[in-house]
Amino acid sequence: MDATESLIVCGGCNAKLGPGKLENILKDLHQEKQPNVMVDFETTDDAAILKINDDTAIIQTIDFFPSMVNDPYLFGQIAATNALSDVWAMGGTVVSALNIVCFPQELDQHILQKILQGGLDKVVEAGGFLAGGHSIQDQKPKYGLSVNGIVNPQKILRNNTCQPGDDLILTKPLGVGIITGAYSTQQIGKEPFDAAVKAMTTLNKYASEIIRQYPVTACTDVTGFGLLGHLNEFLPHGLAAELDAAAIPILPAAYDCAADLLVTAGGQRNRNFLADKVHFTFEDEALAEVLYDPQTSGGLLFSVPPQYTEKMLAQLNQLTLPSAKIGRVMPQETAEIIIN
C-alpha cells in the first residue's frame, strides 16, 4: 500500500469512553416515555427499538471511531462490520445504513474513497442498502454507520435477560485490541494481525441466523468494554457468571502479547471499572488482560438453556470462526463474575 494512502492508527473500540464515565453521564438524562419506544438509552442494550405495529419494530443504532489499522479500505470494512453488529445482537435484520465521516480537508481524498468502499461492501454483504450519509472536516479520520434494522417485537433479544442455569456462548475469539495495538508498533508480525482482521471483518450476521433458530434468552456483542465489561451488563441483579478459562476462544498471539505487557489503555479502564465485580480463582495476568481487552467488531455473547448448546455449537462451528461454550449463569453468592 502506498504510504500516502495510509491512515494513522489511533482508535477502534479502544477509543470508547470507559463504562464508568458513560454511566455517570447518562444517569441524569431523562425524558417522557413514549409508548412505541421499546428500548432506549436508559438501559445498556445495543440499540434503540421503536415498535411500528404488532409484527414490526425498527432497530436504530450508530457506531463510529478512529482507525485501528493503516489500510483505508480495511478500516472501512471493520468500522462497518462493527456498526452493523448491533442489529444482529438485538435479533434483527439489517435494512439500511448511512455513512458517518470525519475527514481532514488536506488528506488525500482517495483515502476516503477507499474507506467508503470498504463500508459499502460490508453493508451489501449484510443485505442492506447504503442510502447516503453525512461528512464533516476533522483533524483525524473517523468513520462508521448509522444503521436501521427490523425485528419482530416478540423476538427481540435483550442483553440482560439471561436465566439461572443458562450456558454462555461466544462466537469470536478475543484479543483483537491487543493484537492491532502490538502490530501498529511493529511488535508482532503480519500473520497474527491477519487472524485479528479475519475476526474483525466477519459479519455477525451468520452466527445470528443460527442462534435465532433457538430459544436464546439474552444476547449482546462484545466490543469496547471487553468480554468482562459486556458480561457485567449482561447479568441481571442477583445473577452471576462462572467462566471456564480454558474454554474461552482467544487469538494465541493476544495472550503472548499480554504476557509481554503489550496491552491497551481501554483494557485498563475496563479493569479499573470492574475491579470489585470480577474474581479469578487463579493467577494469570495475561489472560486477565485479554478478557478486559476492548474488542473492535467482536463476536456475539449469548445465553441459552443447556439442552440446546451442543446442537447450536455444531452449527456455529461450521462457520469460519470458532464458537465455544465459555461458562454458565448461576445465582450470585459472592462475585458477579468468577473465572475458573
Instruction: Confirm whether 147 is domain-assigned.
Output: yes
Reply yes or no on whether 13 is catalytic: yes
Per-residue pLDDT band at 8 (split at 50, 70, 90): very low
What confidence tens digit (pLDDT) does each residue in 88-143 have? 999 999 999 999 999 999 999 999 999 999 999 999 999 999 999 999 999 999 99
What pLDDT score does 230 carry? 94
Q: In this structure, what C-alpha cell is assigned to residue 302?
A: 449469548
Q: Is the pTM of this model over 0.85?
A: yes
Q: Is 221 marked as binding a ligand?
A: yes
Instruction: Confirm whether 161 is domain-assigned.
Output: no
Identify the domain boundary among 132, 155, 178.
155
- Distances from the Cα of 259 to the Cαs of 181, 263, 280, 308, 326, in angstroms? 14, 9, 17, 36, 22
- Distances from the Cα of 321 to the Cαs of 78, 207, 227, 261, in angstroms? 16, 10, 17, 26
Structural domain for 305, as ranges: 167-339
Number of domains in the chain: 2
Task: Answer yes or no: do 70 and 147 share one domain.
Answer: yes
176-184 and 190-200 helices cross at what angle (nearest 10)? 140
Instruction: Confirm whether 162 is domain-assigned.
Output: no
| Given the residues 13, 162, 219, 257, the one annotated as active site | 13
Task: Answer yes or no: do 136 and 232 share one domain.
Answer: no
What confidence tens digit (pLDDT) does each residue in 170-226 have? 999 999 999 999 998 899 999 999 999 999 999 999 999 999 999 999 999 999 999
Can you give the CATH number for the domain in which 92 is found? 3.30.1330.10
Averaged pLDDT, 321-326: 97
Task: Answer yes or no: do 309 and 186 share one domain.
Answer: yes
Task: Answer yes or no: do 77 and 203 share one domain.
Answer: no
Instruction: Confirm whether 82 is domain-assigned.
Output: yes
What backbone torsions phi and psi does residue 213 show, to the nearest 5 degrees?
-85, -5
Task: Answer yes or no: do 112 and 231 share one domain.
Answer: no
Contact indicator for 31, 57 with CB cutoff of 8 Å = no
Q: Is 172 marked as binding a ligand?
A: no
Task: Answer yes or no: do 116 and 147 share one domain.
Answer: yes
Identify the domain boundary among 125, 155, 185.
155
Task: Answer yes or no: do 173 and 133 share one domain.
Answer: no
Q: Is 54 marked as binding a ligand?
A: no
End-to-end CA distance of the chain: 44
Q: Is 86 marked as binding a ligand?
A: yes
What pLDDT score does 4 carry? 46
Averaged pLDDT, 237-241: 94
Examine the pLDDT at 83 and tell me if it is beyond 50.
yes
Q: Is 16 marked as binding a ligand?
A: yes
Identify the domain boundary among 107, 131, 155.
155
Please report, as a single letter, which amino acid is at residue 230: H
Q: Is 28 marked as binding a ligand?
A: no
Task: Answer yes or no: do 246 and 144 share one domain.
Answer: no
Instruction: Confirm whether 212 is domain-assigned.
Output: yes
Task: Answer yes or no: do 145 and 260 share one domain.
Answer: no
Instruction: Confirm whether 160 is domain-assigned.
Output: no
The residues, ordered by sequence, that sit 6+ positions from 265 with a Cβ below 8 Å of its Cβ are 14
Q: Is 6 marked as binding a ligand?
A: no
